[in-house]
Structure formats: structure tokens, C-alpha cells
Amino acid sequence: MKSLKENFQKAHIVIIGSGIIGKFNASELSELGFQITIIDSTQLQNSSNAALGLLMGNMYQKRRGRSWDLRKQSIELWPQWITLLKKFNYELNIEKPLIQLTTNDEKFKKLEKFIYENNDQNLQILKKDSIFIKYINKAFQTKNIKGMISFQDGRINALSLLQTLDKYLKHKKVNYLQGEIIKIRKSNGQWISTTRNNENIKSDMVILCNSLKAIDLIDSLSHNIKLKPVLGQAMEIEINDAEVDLLSLPKHFNINGKNIIPKSKNKLIIGSTDEFSTMPEENTFEKLTNFIDKKPNWLMQGKISKKWFGIRSRPDGEASPIMKNLEDGLIICTGFYKNGILLAPACSKWVAEKIKNYLN
């Protein structure tokens, strides 16, 4: 029997989908010495390019179960990835901390209870007298915002991360193929992925990282997997009020579920919404600014300077994400409707372990 190392070097793995999940899987597996081909049709229009890059791991309030385990593992793995990827982009960083705020007293009590019960030094309650809260209350002309700060969570620039992974994958000689896979099948122990142009790509294994479209490639009779599209929207707003300096606010924070990233003195990004839809609606501004009851004038009068959206896939009838060994040599790693950026390191580690076991 061949050694594991020999198998690794010989095995050819096709990854379908080049969003953050496909790229992370390719990175993890190329580190192990496999031959990788990553195939995507239109990688610039995927949901990964739309992401705001907030990494909400440690502030997750359910400290048990699969979702927490994946977050916990990702929190541990991210610093290792940053060290590795910095060789390809020294500016790549996770900017910490992250602040989560609410105007709802019940939700705030839950936050207090969560921090009290977990006794985690990396989390702290932010009350009205905190300097962060003072600036936020002043800018949003409110009195009732409060929340928590997480010193271990933060934000990575998603676009910069994707570009850095591309550089890393090029360095690792990962093969990139532009094309849409319309069919996969197994023949004589090998997987054959067929492109729309009728090109056949042979491999020992296939990993489906192509979000919603993954279900088109699997046998629905053998695998009961359902995915629903979830729209995520974001916009950049330009304000015109000399009294307000958006840079006085924290670098990134979340109020009542909306993520806010000040970009300059008079520009900020707000995202994202979750709707079962595939097309953005006209009232993006209204939807994304409904995080406080009474909007300050500078926000009401703000102008959208950019807006964008991404379609994510949400598993229907099971927890997100879907990570399964479907058949010998066929793995699915998809259904990341939220937190795909955060969870990518832990999920690609899971895939790598399955592949090691398969080849062993």
C-alpha cells in the first residue's frame, strides 16, 4: 500500500467555486501537497466579494454546539493564517476590537448575563459612561445605546483577503480554470467534472464550494439537501454635516444587527440585510438605516455613494453550513449564508481531515 505522503502528492482535487470557501479549501489542501484545480465561472460576482469582513466569533452567545465549535476553532486558526498570508500582503490584518450594541433593554440584559456567566476577559460590557458609547450616542443623537466590546473579534478587509489568497494560491501553483461546471460523474474510480464548453476535468476528488449551485450538481434522490438564496446588501453613504466626524466613531460596530464601518470623516458603510430574495429592492436605504428609531439628520440626508449586494445560500431544514462527505471522493462545503469569512479556516480544516481519512 502506498504511503499517505505518496497519495497526497498524486491526488488531484477539483474544487468547484472560488469564493472565500473554495479559496480557503484550496489553500489548506495545497499546504498538504495535493494537486489542486479550482474552477469558477464568474468569481467576481460572488457573495464573498460583497462581504464586510466582520469576524464575530467570540461574541457569539451560544457557547456550545457545532456552530460555537466552528467559531472557536476559526478564532484559533485565524492568527496562523494571517501570519502565513502576510508574506504575500504585509498589510493584511484583523483589526480589533469589535463592538456590538443594542437599544433594547432586554437584549442588553442578555448580554450582561452572557458576559457575567462566561467570565471571559476578552469581553466587556459597555455602559452609557463608556467613551465609545458617548461618541456613538452623540453622533446618532440617542441616549439609549449600550452593548459589549470583544477584544478578540474584529474585521478583515474581505476584498484584500481574497486577493491575497489568489497570490498565495498562484505561489502554490494551484491551477485556476475559468468555466461553469454543469455536471459531475464518477467513472472508473475517477471524478469527471464537465464544463459548459464540454471540457472534461478528471480528478480523484471533488469539493463542492459553489454555494446555491451545489445542489444542481448532486443527485437529489440520494442526497436530500436544500438551499435557499439569502440576499445581503450593503451601501456606502456620504454625509454632508460639518459638525459630524464619523472618524470619531469606533472603526467597526454593530447596532441592532446592522454593521457599520466609518470610512472617512463623511463616509460610512452600512450592511447587511437578510431576505429570502435574489434581487435587491428599491428601498435599500430605508432597510439599512432602520437600526435606530429616530435617525439623526445627517443620516436622513445622507446620499448613497455606492451600493452592492451578494446572494448567499442558507440550508433549508438543517444547520448552516453544510459540510458532508456525500460519496467516496465527493465533499460538499457550502450553505454559508452568514459568517462565511469567519468560518472559512475551521471549515477547510474539516474538509482536509476528511480527505486525509479518505486517502489513508
Ligand X SMILES: Cc1cc2nc3c(=O)[nH]c(=O)nc-3n(C[C@H](O)[C@H](O)[C@H](O)COP(=O)(O)OP(=O)(O)OC[C@H]3O[C@@H](n4cnc5c(N)ncnc54)[C@H](O)[C@@H]3O)c2cc1C
Q: Pick out residues in 167-206 that bind ligand X (CB under 6 A).
A: 180-181
Is residue 147 near ligand X by the rule CB under 6 A? no
Of the residues 232, 262, 302, 329, which one makes contact with ligand X according to CB under 6 A: 232
Segment contacting ligand X by CB under 6 A, of 39-47, 61-69, 128-136, 241-249: 39-47
Of the residues 37, 164, 210, 266, which one makes contact with ligand X according to CB under 6 A: 210
Is residue 136 near ligand X by the rule CB under 6 A? no
The Cα 110–Cα 117 span in angstroms is: 10
Q: Pick out residues in 262-281 that bind ligand X (CB under 6 A).
A: 271-272
**Kindly report the CA angle at 36 between 35 and 38, in degrees rounded to 5?**
165
CB of 309 to ligand X, least distance (A): 6
Of the residues 11, 13, 16, 215, which one makes contact with ligand X according to CB under 6 A: 16
Alpha helices in the chain (DSSP H): 4-10, 20-31, 65-85, 105-118, 131-140, 158-171, 214-217, 284-288, 297-300, 340-359
Of the residues 58, 103, 152, 211, which one makes contact with ligand X according to CB under 6 A: 211
**Exposure string for 96-115, b = 16+ CB within 10 A, e = fewer:** bbbbbbbbeeebbeebeebb
Q: Pick out residues in 212-231 that bind ligand X (CB under 6 A).
A: 213
Look at the block and give the residue holding cell 483589526: 95
Nearer to ligand X, 244 or 255 (CB): 255
Segment contacting ligand X by CB under 6 A, of 77-85, 207-215, 239-247, 324-332: 207-215
Half-sphere exposure (CA, 13 Å, Cβ side) for 297?
5
By CB under 6 A, name the binding residues for ligand X: 16-22, 39-43, 46-48, 50-54, 180-181, 209-211, 213, 232-234, 271-272, 310, 312, 334, 336, 338-342
